[in-house]
Amino acid sequence: MSKRVLRITHTKSDRKDRASALLRERGYELETIRPIDGEQLPDARTAGYAAVLVYGGPQSINDADELPYIAEEIAWTRDWVEAGGRFLGLCLGGQMLAKAFGAEISRHPEGLHEIGYVEVMPLNEPCSFLPTPMHVYHWHNEGFDVPPGGERLAAGPVFPNQAFRLSPRAYGLQFHPEVTPEIFESWFEEVGDISDRPGAHHPERQRRDAERHHAPLGDWFGGFLDDWLED
């Protein structure tokens, strides 16, 4: 099997995220494409990657008419997954997978954001995806419906759909297991108004929660990646 993983990112900068570190530890070579910079996606039928990892970003899936690269990425995602490609979408990336297969993406009906560590619950017990409830990191104000044919895997108290899979190779997560405290500290600086966003946890609470939840989330994520990458 190829040891190349394609990362698709939606920001100008490249942060040292946990997903990249875990994949490198497992011997994978990472390649990065930034559609936001006009970089073109490869032919989904011949790309030859072991997996594709699609990150979050400030964009909305529902802005595809104004952001042509989002529409192109949605179509590419469907082609890649239908061809049997291994796909993991995180936050915006999870919404990308849902939209590519016919699901709606929408804001919370009460206008809430989900920012900080929030507990999610496993479904369909016994669940190999998420054996027990776990606090995971969030930063979003839109959420996905589960697309037709998808299996809902985890639920949360703010946005009900937190994870789904279309096959053992294709997963969408609403949360951010790749985010480190260093990353969310940089987001605090960039946005400036986090405390004014309805439902967002105060930065001090997030820092305290990270002391308890960051390491267990990383342990879970490493095990999940091993299962996902297994032939």
* Residue 15 phi, psi dihedral angles, 5° rounding: -95, 160
DSSP state letter for 181: H
SS3 assignment, position 149: coil
CB of 101 within 8 A of CB of 78? yes
Residue 91 has a CB neighbour count (10 Å cut-off) of 26
- Interval 110-162: pLDDT, tens: 999 999 999 999 987 667 899 999 999 999 999 999 999 999 999 999 999 99
CB of 85 within 8 A of CB of 97? no
Query: Who's near 96: CB < 8 A, 6+ residues apart?
Result: 54, 61, 73, 74, 77, 89, 172
Residue 87 has pLDDT above 90, yes or no: yes
| pLDDT at 194 (0 to 100) | 81
Domains of the chain in start order, with CATH, are 4-229 (3.40.50.880)
Proportion of the chain in helix, strand, coil states, percent, rounded to 5:
35, 25, 40
**Rounded average pLDDT over 8-37:** 93
| pLDDT at 183 (0 to 100) | 94
| pLDDT at 112 (0 to 100) | 96
Q: Which of 63-67, 80-84, 124-128, 150-154 has the lowest mean pLDDT?
A: 124-128
Only one residue has tokens 């996606």, namely 41
- Interval 34-61: pLDDT, tens: 999 999 999 988 889 999 999 999 999 9
CB of 24 within 8 A of CB of 30? yes
pLDDT band at residue 231, thresholds of 50, 70 and 90?
low
CB of 19 within 8 A of CB of 9? no
**Rounded average pLDDT over 101-116:** 97
CB of 165 within 8 A of CB of 150? yes
- Interval 167-220: pLDDT, tens: 999 999 999 999 999 999 999 988 877 878 999 999 999 999 999 999 999 999
